[in-house]
Amino acid sequence: QVQLVESGGGLVQAGGSLRLSCVTSGRTFSVNHMGWFRQAPGKEREFVAAIPWSGSETYYADSVKGRFTISRDNAKNTVYLQMNSLKVEDTAVYFCARHRFAPSTFWYEYDYWGQGTQVTVSS
């Protein structure tokens, strides 16, 4: 069993920054591949970023590439999403999730999810 808890969301003006955190407990964090997804009202859940257990590579949606950075600290069982140059269209609930086998852009391949944290970007 794996538990994930996100934090760090909030209200920010366009152009601002936020850093999301996702703390994992239960199963050894270092063997978990992690992803961030988001879901805006009335829209489907979409991929944001992913990172393998080693942290050796990172993957991003085109919409956030160059603005967001995913990272992890295995000693703290935590994965981060640094979000810079935020846009109004980044407004959504952000979720972290665990993939058992490899980082993926497909949300349905992840088996454990956090409860989500709201990010609201105002104009």
How far is it, in rounded angstroms, from Cα 115 to Cα 117? 7
Residue 27 pLDDT: 65
Residue 28 is predicted with a pLDDT of 67
What are the tens digits of pLDDT across the range 3-56?
Answer: 999 999 999 999 999 999 999 988 666 678 999 999 999 999 999 999 999 999
Tokens of 60: 């991003």
Return the percentage of the chain with pLDDT > 70, whole number.
97
| Spatial separation of the C-alpha atoms in residues 75 and 3, rounded to whole Å | 16
45 CB contacts (<8 Å, ≥6 apart)? 37, 38, 39, 95, 107
